[in-house]
Amino acid sequence: MSVELKKEALEEYLIFLKIERGLSKNSIESYQRDLNQYITYLDQEKINSWDEINRYIILNFLENQKNGLKSDNSLIRMISSLRRFHQFLKQENLSKEDPMLYIETPKKAQTLPKVISTNQIDILLSIPDTSNKIGIRDRAILEVMYATGIRISELVNLKLEELHLSMKLIQTIGKGDKERILPIGEQGIRWVEYYLEYSRPKLEMKSVQTSPFVFLNLRGTQLSRQGVWKKIKKMVQQAGIKQNVTPHTLRHSFATHLLENGADLRVVQELLGHSDISTTQIYTHITKHRLKEVYDAYHPRA
């Protein structure tokens, strides 16, 4: 089986995920990255047929991935990708057996999401230089992310028509193309309106085409995930925050601060767009953990 035939099977599978399963672009790209690594390994090992693959080949591949410093959770995702792919190959009669039947999925390590305090949030929000168009944009981005718990992919794909600021709402398309309506507070509204009035028109002038997206880069086109990530990393350093803060940290902090102030878990689940409340429940562990830290630090008999 040539490299081309392997790639052809992968392309068919990706089309299946898009058309039959209706997965989002990000999910499909994640599967594609995993399976490209798998196919590269099969080529290196001179595997010429899907039916040549057995559990030992897959275990060797996974060991190879682990030696490449893949995290446990990355390996779990890879196993899931391989499991679904081999089910597809058997279903389409491209292979006779499914070697993944004999591969166990290790339990996912439950790690508490990293959060920052409300004081650190205030310091971070004060970092952008709001005397210029980029600083105004960056302040608006931080305000929206912390005010709504929006994912970075949802932020960069947010469109002008999805802003309903007079009603204090924004709408967004999340994982699985599910729409959410999110409330946004006065501070978030204020900075978004300020950005739309004073910054965005200047940025859009740099492009020959008008853009439907809210947040633009210096070229007047859609801001990228990488662009936002780099900006936040730089602002975190300027704020003197020693923790490793990513765009997702703002989402975690949003959820944790809501629960700490008495929000109902079901409400937080809706705001985050979690399909299963067990995903949201991890934040209750954070609040309990932080309560214990406060108790240990301040109670005279702790």
In this structure, what DSSP letter does residue 241 have?
Answer: -
- Quote the tokens at residue 70: 């893949």
- Residues classed as catalytic: 151, 175, 248, 251, 274, 283
What is the C-alpha separation between 220 and 67, in angstroms, rounded?
42
| CA nearest neighbour of 84 among 145, 10, 152 | 10
In this structure, what DSSP letter does residue 179 have?
Answer: E
Residues facing 179 on adjacent strands: 173
- In the sheet that holds 163-164, the strands lie side by side as 163-164, 169-173, 179-183
Place of tokens 């020959």: 208
What is the C-alpha separation between 120 and 258, in angstroms, rounded?
16
8 A C-beta contact, residue 32 and residue 68: no
What is the C-alpha separation between 264 and 176, in angstroms, rounded?
24
Residues recorded for the chain: 302
| CA nearest neighbour of 232 among 152, 114, 290 | 152
- Quote the tokens at residue 136: 């105004």
What residue spans of the chain are helical by DSSP H? Answer: 3-19, 25-44, 55-67, 72-91, 118-125, 133-148, 152-156, 186-194, 200-204, 225-238, 247-260, 265-272, 277-280, 282-298
- Quote the tokens at residue 27: 């999910």
